[in-house]
């Protein structure tokens, strides 16, 4: 039997034939296309985190205003470091979006006096003077409005907007001159889609500058909880949410259409008196585990006790009084494509040898 | 939540901090072979830690 004869029934079978006009291009078209499996309309969305849980965690955390403010140390620090990157862009920004604003930490950082330590005049105006209007969006009303009465609100033009979720942005194309985001997008389920949306709401040749937790953040807690779980209960349950890795971020930005990418990493190590203090602080930050298939209810007391002992043994340095916790931050800058934008030079067109310039030798 | 009230986790932490010797023994036992941890591998050490913890948490 020839091959053609075997194939023929499949082509004729009405069940296997797609009645719609095929939309694929001629190069990939094939008269006997088989469609055994059908895909649901639209892109299926990968769900990792429970959005509702995260929303509740943020709301609950922010309702305890005192604790929530006390544990803003990382968010404030990262927002400040993120805003420092604006010093390198000599522009004014009429419309800026703060994506996932938490308690408007970016606005606070922008209004800080004298942000540029290397200013030739010795002092520099706050970054907020270059921004005409900042729109802060977040899902948690309580967290977003927590500091609405603080003095920084009157120092710049600022609106707060509560959105039902951060994964679909309610803005028109080409409406912002910069999009900033500090410590929020690590909770996004569909990062490729969000980045594509950010690219579309930016005006041409405008930057997206973001910081997120990544990779090895809280690796100490992750490992010691795994060991404690294993030894006490004989199995592992995810207690620390997964995070994107540095090496993925460049690809993600590229795929979303950003140009001239800059990605860099920074570790901040914080010392806590014990693991209980660490976990309490994470909770007060609203950064507790929100993975979809997490085990509900609190950690068992046995695991908590075992975790404390293992964490100390595994990660505490000799002579330290507290336990270290690493926060790995990924900073990213991507530019929307625009006319007249600086382009990278062609490969091999360099006139200077970097080795001569930097004084490198043999490695 | 009033900040003057002691949260259960704080009591827990206080009691756990009184058993550092037992905790170190248990930690050493687990970490000594952390590539092949099994359930109840260090049950004996853990029970000592737990007894100490329970005794410490009973004290006011």
- On whether residue A32 sits in a domain, the answer given is no
| Of A231 and A3, the one with more pLDDT | A231
Sign of CA dihedral B16, B17, B22, B23: positive
CATH of residue A205's domain is 3.40.50.150
- On whether residue A111 sits in a domain, the answer given is yes
Contacts with A64 (C-beta within 8 Å, 6 or more apart), sequence order: A284, B1
**Cα(A101)–Cα(A243) distance, integer angstroms:** 19
Domain locations along chain B: 19-58
B46 and A234: CB-CB below 8 Å? Answer: no
Please tell me the pTM assigned to this model: 0.82
- On whether residue A310 sits in a domain, the answer given is no
> Beta A207-213 vs A178-182: how paired, if at all?
parallel
Token pair for B18: 């009184």
Residue A20: pLDDT band (50, 70, 90) is very low
Q: What is the ipTM of this complex?
A: 0.91
Asked if B52 reaches chain A (Cβ–Cβ under 8 Å), the answer is: no
- Per-residue pLDDT of B22-49, as tens digits, reads 999 999 999 998 888 999 999 999 999 9
Asked if B42 reaches chain A (Cβ–Cβ under 8 Å), the answer is: yes
**Cα(B30)–Cα(B24) distance, integer angstroms:** 10
Contacts of A280 in chain B (CB under 8 A): 7, 9
- Distance of residue B55 Cα from the nearest chain A Cα, in angstroms: 14
CB A165 within 8 A of CB A139: yes
- On whether residue A30 sits in a domain, the answer given is no
Asked if B4 reaches chain A (Cβ–Cβ under 8 Å), the answer is: no
Give the residue carrying structure tokens 């929100």.
Answer: A290
Mean pLDDT of A15-35: 48
DSSP 8-state secondary structure symbol assigned to residue A238: -
- Per-residue pLDDT of A116-136, as tens digits, reads 888 788 788 899 999 999 999
B3 and A66: CB-CB below 8 Å? Answer: yes
Interface test with chain B among A225, A313, A314, by most B beta carbons within 10 Å: A313
- On whether residue A276 sits in a domain, the answer given is no
Residue A44 pLDDT > 80, yes or no? no
Q: How many domains, in total, are found in chain A?
A: 1
Contacts of B26 in chain A (CB under 8 A): 306, 309-310
- Distance of residue A295 Cα from the nearest chain B Cα, in angstroms: 19
Mean pLDDT of A135-154: 94
Contacts of A279 in chain B (CB under 8 A): 9
**Residue-number span of the structural domain to which A140 is assigned:** 51-214+244-269+327-336
B16 and A230: CB-CB below 8 Å? Answer: no
| Of A241 and A30, the one with more pLDDT | A241
Contacts with A28 (C-beta within 8 Å, 6 or more apart), sequence order: none
A66 and B31: CB-CB below 8 Å? Answer: no
């Amino acid at each position: 039997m020839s091959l053609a004869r075997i194939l023929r029934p499949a082509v004729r079978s009405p069940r296997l034939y797609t009645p719609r006009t095929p939309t694929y291009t001629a190069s990939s078209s094939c008269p006997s296309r088989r469609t055994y499996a059908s895909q649901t309309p639209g892109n299926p969305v990968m769900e990792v985190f429970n959005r509702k849980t995260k929303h509740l965690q943020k709301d609950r955390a922010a309702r305890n205003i005192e604790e929530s403010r006390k544990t803003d140390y990382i968010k404030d620090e990262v927002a400040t470091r993120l805003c420092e990157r604006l010093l390198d862009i000599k522009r004014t920004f009429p419309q800026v979006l703060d994506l996932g604003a938490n308690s408007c930490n970016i606005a606070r950082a922008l209004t800080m006096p004298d942000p540029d330590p290397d200013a030739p005049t010795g002092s520099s105006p706050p970054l907020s003077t270059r921004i005409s209007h900042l729109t802060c969006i977040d899902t948690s009303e309580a967290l977003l409005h927590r500091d609405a009465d603080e003095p920084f609100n009157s120092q710049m033009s600022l609106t707060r907007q509560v959105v039902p979720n951060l994964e679909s942005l309610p803005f028109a194309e080409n409406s912002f001159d910069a999009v900033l985001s500090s410590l929020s997008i690590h909770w996004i389920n569909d990062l490729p889609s969000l980045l594509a949306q950010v690219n579309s709401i930016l005006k041409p040749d405008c930057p997206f500058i973001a910081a997120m937790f990544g990779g090895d953040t809280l690796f100490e807690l992750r490992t010691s909880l795994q060991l404690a779980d294993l030894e006490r209960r004989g199995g592992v349950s995810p207690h620390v949410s997964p995070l994107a890795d540095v090496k993925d971020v460049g690809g993600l930005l590229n795929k979303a259409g950003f140009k001239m990418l800059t990605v860099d990493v920074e570790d901040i190590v914080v010392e806590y008196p014990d693991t209980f203090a660490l976990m309490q602080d994470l909770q007060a930050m609203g950064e507790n585990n929100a993975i979809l298939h997490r085990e509900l209810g609190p950690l068992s007391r046995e695991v908590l006790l075992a975790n404390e002992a293992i964490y100390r043994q595994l990660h505490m340095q000799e002579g330290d009084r507290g336990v270290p916790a690493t926060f790995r931050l990924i900073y990213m800058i991507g530019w929307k494509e625009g006319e007249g934008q600086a382009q990278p030079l062609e490969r091999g067109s360099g006139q200077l040898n970097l080795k001569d310039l930097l004084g490198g030798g043999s490695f | 939540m009033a900040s003057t009230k002691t949260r259960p986790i704080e009591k827990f932490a206080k009691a756990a901090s009184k058993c550092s010797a037992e905790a170190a023994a248990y930690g050493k036992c687990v970490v000594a072979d952390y590539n092949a941890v099994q359930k109840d591998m260090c049950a004996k050490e853990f029970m000592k830690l737990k007894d100490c913890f329970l005794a410490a948490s009973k004290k006011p």
